Amino acid sequence: MRVCISLKSSACRTFQPARSAAASTLAGTCKRNVLVPWLVALAFALTAQQGHACTFNVTGVNFGSYDVFSNTPLDSTGNIDVNCPSGVGYSMALTAGGGTHTQRVMGSGAHRFNYNLYTTADHAVVWGDATSGTARVNGTGIGVSVNHGVYGRIPALQNLHPGSYSDTIAIMINF
């Protein structure tokens, strides 16, 4: 059975008014309060197959605020909980969304910024469809919910234009 889940990434940027930013520059101060709240919301649709009563619960990746001046990437975690009967194997793949698996992209009109989703907290392996160096996440049902972390990362020092950014990722679950 194949289940498709939609992963919608969205972002909104708050910014310092130009007059205030110019005054700070003229005064010789550097304000580090330009923040961007990011939210990767996960939603899903499930089709059932007789004999496999698997259920799914998805929690979005909430990046909180992004400081465009920070030298540190912004990390956050979401979850996909899968509850299948004991012994039922499954595999989860993520599409590339608006970018590629090696560099996912959120957009706002003509403006873009980079982010990605990983299989582990060390951000070593991109969660994709097992092509281009990416990996699927596999599991076997044990009769209770099994948590699979979705580890998101926004690279540091991206110069972002103010606006609302979004991307849509599809999650495919085969069991």
Helix ranges (DSSP H) in the chain? 18-26
- Token pair 């873009």: residue: 112
Instruction: Please tell me the CATH code under which domain 2-174 is placed.
Output: 2.60.40.1090
Q: How confident is the model at residue 38 (pLDDT cuts 50, 70, 90)?
A: very low
Between 42-46, 60-64, 107-111, the lowest mean confidence (pLDDT) is in 42-46
Report how far apart, in Å, the C-alpha atoms of 171 and of each of 33, 36, 44, 100, 133 are.
35, 26, 8, 15, 18
74-84 pLDDT, tens digit each: 998 988 999 99
Between 96 and 44, where is the model more confident? 96
* pLDDT average, residue stretch 134-160: 94
Structure-block tokens of residue 147: 């948590």
In 13-157, which ranges are E strands? 35-44, 55-59, 61-67, 74-83, 89-94, 104-108, 111-118, 137-140, 146-154
The predicted model scores a pTM of: 0.74
Give the closest residue to 76 by CA, choosing from 99, 60, 92. Answer: 60
- What are the domain boundaries of the chain? 2-174
Residue 56 near residue 173 (C-beta atoms within 8 A): yes
What pLDDT sits at residue 138?
A: 96
* pLDDT average, residue stretch 134-147: 96
